[in-house]
Amino acid sequence: MQNKLWQPLKPGDEVDVIAPAGRPYPGHLTQIIEVLTAWQLRVNMPDDILGDDLLCANSDAMRLRHLQAALMNPKSKAIICARGGYGMTRLLPALFNMQPPAQPKLVVGMSDLTSLAIFLEQQWGWASLHAAMSVWRLEPVSITAIKQALFAETNPIKFTQVEPINQLAKENRLINSSVAGGNLCLVQAGLGTAWQLNAQDKIILLEEVHERGYRVDRMLEHLHQAGIFTQAKAVIFGDFIGGEEPNGTSLIQPVLQRFAERLPIPVVHIKGIGHGNINYPIPLGTPSQLQLGINSHLLCQIN
Protein backbone atom coordinates (compact mmCIF):
# COMPACT_ATOMS: atom_id res chain seq x y z
CA MET A 1 0.00 0.00 0.00
CA GLN A 2 1.39 3.40 -0.98
CA ASN A 3 1.01 5.97 1.75
CA LYS A 4 -1.25 8.98 1.31
CA LEU A 5 0.89 12.11 1.32
CA TRP A 6 -0.23 15.40 2.76
CA GLN A 7 -0.88 18.54 0.75
CA PRO A 8 1.67 21.31 1.35
CA LEU A 9 0.34 24.31 3.21
CA LYS A 10 -0.26 27.69 1.64
CA PRO A 11 -0.98 31.12 3.15
CA GLY A 12 -4.50 31.32 4.53
CA ASP A 13 -4.76 27.61 5.42
CA GLU A 14 -6.18 26.62 8.80
CA VAL A 15 -4.17 24.44 11.18
CA ASP A 16 -5.03 22.80 14.50
CA VAL A 17 -2.68 23.17 17.47
CA ILE A 18 -3.23 20.50 20.14
CA ALA A 19 -1.35 18.96 23.07
CA PRO A 20 -2.05 15.20 22.98
CA ALA A 21 0.87 14.34 25.24
CA GLY A 22 2.92 16.41 27.71
CA ARG A 23 2.02 19.81 29.14
CA PRO A 24 3.44 22.82 27.30
CA TYR A 25 3.86 26.08 29.18
CA PRO A 26 1.15 28.61 28.25
CA GLY A 27 3.87 30.97 27.04
CA HIS A 28 5.11 28.30 24.66
CA LEU A 29 1.65 27.92 23.16
CA THR A 30 1.57 31.67 22.58
CA GLN A 31 4.92 31.53 20.80
CA ILE A 32 3.75 28.70 18.53
CA ILE A 33 0.65 30.66 17.58
CA GLU A 34 2.73 33.78 16.88
CA VAL A 35 5.05 31.90 14.52
CA LEU A 36 2.24 30.12 12.66
CA THR A 37 0.33 33.41 12.34
CA ALA A 38 3.45 35.09 10.97
CA TRP A 39 3.47 32.36 8.32
CA GLN A 40 -0.07 33.52 7.38
CA LEU A 41 -1.77 30.44 8.75
CA ARG A 42 -5.07 30.54 10.62
CA VAL A 43 -4.65 28.79 13.97
CA ASN A 44 -7.38 26.80 15.68
CA MET A 45 -6.55 25.83 19.27
CA PRO A 46 -9.01 24.53 21.89
CA ASP A 47 -9.75 26.97 24.70
CA ASP A 48 -9.47 24.07 27.15
CA ILE A 49 -6.23 22.66 25.71
CA LEU A 50 -4.73 22.58 29.22
CA GLY A 51 -6.40 20.93 32.20
CA ASP A 52 -5.78 18.96 35.36
CA ASP A 53 -3.86 15.71 35.01
CA LEU A 54 -1.17 13.94 36.97
CA LEU A 55 1.25 13.63 34.06
CA CYS A 56 -0.12 15.10 30.84
CA ALA A 57 -1.45 18.32 29.32
CA ASN A 58 -5.02 17.34 30.15
CA SER A 59 -7.05 14.27 31.03
CA ASP A 60 -7.03 11.33 28.63
CA ALA A 61 -10.65 12.07 27.71
CA MET A 62 -9.98 15.72 26.87
CA ARG A 63 -6.75 15.07 24.96
CA LEU A 64 -8.50 12.36 22.96
CA ARG A 65 -11.39 14.70 22.21
CA HIS A 66 -9.01 17.39 20.95
CA LEU A 67 -7.06 14.91 18.85
CA GLN A 68 -10.12 13.34 17.27
CA ALA A 69 -11.65 16.75 16.56
CA ALA A 70 -8.43 17.87 14.86
CA LEU A 71 -8.19 14.68 12.81
CA MET A 72 -11.79 15.04 11.64
CA ASN A 73 -11.78 18.83 11.15
CA PRO A 74 -12.61 19.23 7.44
CA LYS A 75 -11.34 22.81 7.38
CA SER A 76 -7.83 22.31 8.72
CA LYS A 77 -4.90 21.15 6.60
CA ALA A 78 -2.47 20.23 9.38
CA ILE A 79 -2.21 19.23 13.02
CA ILE A 80 0.62 20.77 15.02
CA CYS A 81 1.42 18.91 18.24
CA ALA A 82 2.65 21.48 20.75
CA ARG A 83 5.16 19.18 22.44
CA GLY A 84 6.09 15.58 23.15
CA GLY A 85 6.60 14.57 26.76
CA TYR A 86 4.31 11.72 27.71
CA GLY A 87 0.74 10.64 27.11
CA MET A 88 0.12 9.84 23.45
CA THR A 89 0.36 6.09 23.95
CA ARG A 90 -2.55 6.28 26.40
CA LEU A 91 -4.81 7.51 23.56
CA LEU A 92 -3.85 5.04 20.84
CA PRO A 93 -6.27 2.21 21.72
CA ALA A 94 -9.22 4.54 21.11
CA LEU A 95 -7.88 5.54 17.68
CA PHE A 96 -8.17 1.94 16.48
CA ASN A 97 -11.95 2.38 16.69
CA MET A 98 -11.93 5.49 14.46
CA GLN A 99 -12.64 5.58 10.77
CA PRO A 100 -9.93 7.64 9.05
CA PRO A 101 -10.97 10.83 7.27
CA ALA A 102 -11.14 10.55 3.51
CA GLN A 103 -8.46 13.20 3.08
CA PRO A 104 -5.12 12.82 4.92
CA LYS A 105 -3.63 15.85 6.60
CA LEU A 106 -0.18 16.81 7.74
CA VAL A 107 0.59 15.81 11.35
CA VAL A 108 3.67 17.42 12.90
CA GLY A 109 5.30 16.02 16.04
CA MET A 110 8.14 13.94 17.42
CA SER A 111 9.43 12.35 20.63
CA ASP A 112 6.30 10.94 22.33
CA LEU A 113 4.39 11.56 19.08
CA THR A 114 6.49 8.82 17.46
CA SER A 115 3.70 6.47 18.52
CA LEU A 116 1.09 8.54 16.66
CA ALA A 117 3.24 8.64 13.52
CA ILE A 118 3.60 4.85 13.58
CA PHE A 119 -0.16 4.43 14.05
CA LEU A 120 -1.05 6.84 11.25
CA GLU A 121 1.21 5.15 8.73
CA GLN A 122 0.43 1.54 9.59
CA GLN A 123 -3.33 1.89 10.19
CA TRP A 124 -4.37 4.79 7.97
CA GLY A 125 -1.55 4.92 5.42
CA TRP A 126 -0.73 8.54 6.29
CA ALA A 127 2.69 10.07 6.04
CA SER A 128 3.75 12.56 8.73
CA LEU A 129 6.50 15.03 9.61
CA HIS A 130 9.01 14.27 12.37
CA ALA A 131 9.58 17.79 13.69
CA ALA A 132 9.16 19.93 16.80
CA MET A 133 7.48 23.32 17.02
CA SER A 134 9.60 24.11 20.09
CA VAL A 135 10.17 27.63 18.81
CA TRP A 136 11.32 28.84 22.24
CA ARG A 137 14.53 26.76 22.06
CA LEU A 138 15.20 25.99 18.40
CA GLU A 139 17.83 27.82 16.37
CA PRO A 140 16.44 30.02 13.56
CA VAL A 141 17.78 27.59 10.94
CA SER A 142 15.48 24.90 12.35
CA ILE A 143 12.42 27.16 12.32
CA THR A 144 13.16 28.04 8.71
CA ALA A 145 13.54 24.37 7.80
CA ILE A 146 10.15 23.53 9.35
CA LYS A 147 8.46 26.31 7.38
CA GLN A 148 10.10 25.11 4.18
CA ALA A 149 8.84 21.58 4.85
CA LEU A 150 5.28 22.65 5.71
CA PHE A 151 4.96 24.78 2.58
CA ALA A 152 7.05 22.41 0.40
CA GLU A 153 9.41 25.25 -0.40
CA THR A 154 12.13 22.60 -0.47
CA ASN A 155 11.05 19.35 -2.08
CA PRO A 156 12.46 16.81 -1.69
CA ILE A 157 14.15 17.48 1.64
CA LYS A 158 17.83 16.66 1.28
CA PHE A 159 20.26 15.61 4.01
CA THR A 160 23.87 15.73 2.85
CA GLN A 161 25.68 15.09 6.13
CA VAL A 162 25.26 11.29 6.07
CA GLU A 163 28.03 9.60 8.05
CA PRO A 164 28.56 5.81 7.66
CA ILE A 165 28.71 3.94 10.97
CA ASN A 166 29.41 0.43 9.70
CA GLN A 167 31.18 -1.04 6.70
CA LEU A 168 27.97 -1.74 4.77
CA ALA A 169 27.14 1.97 4.85
CA LYS A 170 30.42 2.74 3.06
CA GLU A 171 29.55 0.66 0.02
CA ASN A 172 28.22 2.49 -3.01
CA ARG A 173 24.53 1.62 -3.31
CA LEU A 174 21.11 3.28 -3.55
CA ILE A 175 18.26 2.32 -1.21
CA ASN A 176 14.72 3.21 -2.28
CA SER A 177 12.36 3.03 0.66
CA SER A 178 10.69 5.27 3.25
CA VAL A 179 11.72 6.40 6.72
CA ALA A 180 9.88 5.09 9.80
CA GLY A 181 10.41 5.29 13.53
CA GLY A 182 11.58 8.24 15.58
CA ASN A 183 12.33 8.25 19.28
CA LEU A 184 14.11 5.07 20.42
CA CYS A 185 12.22 4.78 23.71
CA LEU A 186 8.85 5.05 21.96
CA VAL A 187 9.75 2.54 19.25
CA GLN A 188 10.67 0.15 22.06
CA ALA A 189 7.44 0.96 23.93
CA GLY A 190 5.46 -0.25 20.93
CA LEU A 191 6.78 -3.80 21.14
CA GLY A 192 3.94 -6.23 21.77
CA THR A 193 1.24 -3.61 21.10
CA ALA A 194 -1.17 -3.21 18.20
CA TRP A 195 0.97 -0.32 16.93
CA GLN A 196 4.34 -2.09 17.05
CA LEU A 197 6.62 -0.78 14.32
CA ASN A 198 6.61 -2.86 11.15
CA ALA A 199 10.04 -2.08 9.75
CA GLN A 200 9.97 -4.46 6.81
CA ASP A 201 11.74 -2.81 3.84
CA LYS A 202 11.95 0.47 5.78
CA ILE A 203 14.76 2.81 6.76
CA ILE A 204 14.52 2.94 10.55
CA LEU A 205 15.12 6.32 12.20
CA LEU A 206 16.17 6.33 15.87
CA GLU A 207 17.08 9.27 18.11
CA GLU A 208 17.09 9.80 21.87
CA VAL A 209 17.62 12.29 24.68
CA HIS A 210 18.89 12.02 28.28
CA GLU A 211 19.50 8.27 28.24
CA ARG A 212 22.84 6.85 29.41
CA GLY A 213 24.83 4.41 27.33
CA TYR A 214 23.68 1.24 29.05
CA ARG A 215 20.03 2.24 28.67
CA VAL A 216 20.47 2.97 24.96
CA ASP A 217 22.21 -0.38 24.56
CA ARG A 218 19.40 -2.15 26.41
CA MET A 219 16.72 -0.58 24.21
CA LEU A 220 18.59 -1.40 21.01
CA GLU A 221 19.19 -4.95 22.19
CA HIS A 222 15.49 -5.34 22.97
CA LEU A 223 14.54 -4.20 19.48
CA HIS A 224 17.17 -6.51 18.00
CA GLN A 225 15.94 -9.57 19.88
CA ALA A 226 12.35 -8.70 18.96
CA GLY A 227 13.32 -8.87 15.28
CA ILE A 228 12.63 -5.23 14.43
CA PHE A 229 15.78 -4.91 12.31
CA THR A 230 15.48 -8.30 10.60
CA GLN A 231 13.83 -7.14 7.37
CA ALA A 232 14.73 -3.44 7.48
CA LYS A 233 16.82 -1.92 4.68
CA ALA A 234 18.91 0.47 6.75
CA VAL A 235 19.12 2.37 10.05
CA ILE A 236 19.58 6.10 10.59
CA PHE A 237 20.84 7.24 13.97
CA GLY A 238 19.84 10.83 14.59
CA ASP A 239 21.12 12.82 17.56
CA PHE A 240 21.51 11.19 20.96
CA ILE A 241 21.51 14.21 23.27
CA GLY A 242 22.76 14.10 26.86
CA GLY A 243 23.01 10.81 28.71
CA GLU A 244 26.39 11.46 30.30
CA GLU A 245 27.82 9.12 32.91
CA PRO A 246 28.16 10.32 36.53
CA ASN A 247 31.80 11.27 35.85
CA GLY A 248 30.80 13.44 32.89
CA THR A 249 31.91 11.08 30.12
CA SER A 250 29.58 9.49 27.59
CA LEU A 251 29.28 5.92 26.35
CA ILE A 252 26.65 6.73 23.72
CA GLN A 253 28.87 6.77 20.64
CA PRO A 254 30.76 3.55 21.48
CA VAL A 255 27.41 1.86 22.16
CA LEU A 256 25.99 2.99 18.80
CA GLN A 257 29.18 1.99 16.99
CA ARG A 258 29.27 -1.49 18.52
CA PHE A 259 25.60 -2.05 17.75
CA ALA A 260 25.98 -0.85 14.15
CA GLU A 261 28.82 -3.27 13.53
CA ARG A 262 26.55 -6.18 14.55
CA LEU A 263 23.78 -5.38 12.09
CA PRO A 264 23.78 -6.93 8.59
CA ILE A 265 22.32 -3.72 7.10
CA PRO A 266 23.80 -0.23 6.55
CA VAL A 267 23.79 2.12 9.53
CA VAL A 268 24.40 5.85 9.16
CA HIS A 269 24.32 8.94 11.35
CA ILE A 270 22.59 12.17 10.32
CA LYS A 271 23.32 15.08 12.63
CA GLY A 272 20.53 17.52 13.44
CA ILE A 273 17.60 15.10 13.69
CA GLY A 274 16.37 14.78 17.26
CA HIS A 275 16.08 16.82 20.44
CA GLY A 276 18.86 19.35 19.86
CA ASN A 277 18.52 23.10 19.39
CA ILE A 278 19.20 22.40 15.74
CA ASN A 279 16.47 19.99 14.70
CA TYR A 280 15.71 19.43 11.04
CA PRO A 281 12.30 18.05 10.02
CA ILE A 282 12.24 14.70 8.27
CA PRO A 283 9.19 13.20 6.52
CA LEU A 284 8.08 9.75 7.67
CA GLY A 285 6.32 7.37 5.32
CA THR A 286 7.16 9.24 2.11
CA PRO A 287 9.21 7.95 -0.85
CA SER A 288 12.87 8.30 0.13
CA GLN A 289 16.27 7.53 -1.35
CA LEU A 290 19.36 6.82 0.74
CA GLN A 291 22.51 7.08 -1.34
CA LEU A 292 25.48 5.37 0.30
CA GLY A 293 29.17 5.48 -0.52
CA ILE A 294 30.58 8.47 -2.39
CA ASN A 295 28.44 11.62 -2.13
CA SER A 296 26.11 9.93 0.36
CA HIS A 297 22.84 11.72 1.03
CA LEU A 298 19.17 11.17 1.91
CA LEU A 299 16.26 12.51 -0.12
CA CYS A 300 12.74 12.52 1.37
CA GLN A 301 9.80 13.44 -0.82
CA ILE A 302 7.03 15.67 0.54
CA ASN A 303 4.29 15.32 -2.10
CA 74 to chain centre: 24
Q: How close are the terminal C-alpha atoms of the chain, in Å? A: 16
- Across the chain, the runs of DSSP E, i.e. the strands, are 14-18, 42-44, 76-81, 106-109, 128-130, 157-159, 162-164, 174-177, 179-183, 203-209, 234-241, 267-270, 282-284, 288-291, 297-300
CB 167 within 8 A of CB 146: no
Closest CA to 252 of 210, 202, 190, 298: 210
SS3 193: coil
Catalytic machinery residues: 111, 207, 275
Instruction: Give the C-alpha separation, 112 to 212, whole Å.
Output: 18
Instruction: Give the C-alpha separation, 23 to 291, whole Å.
Output: 39
CB 144 within 8 A of CB 221: no
SS3 15: strand
Angle, CA of 170, 288 and 138, to the nearest 5°: 90
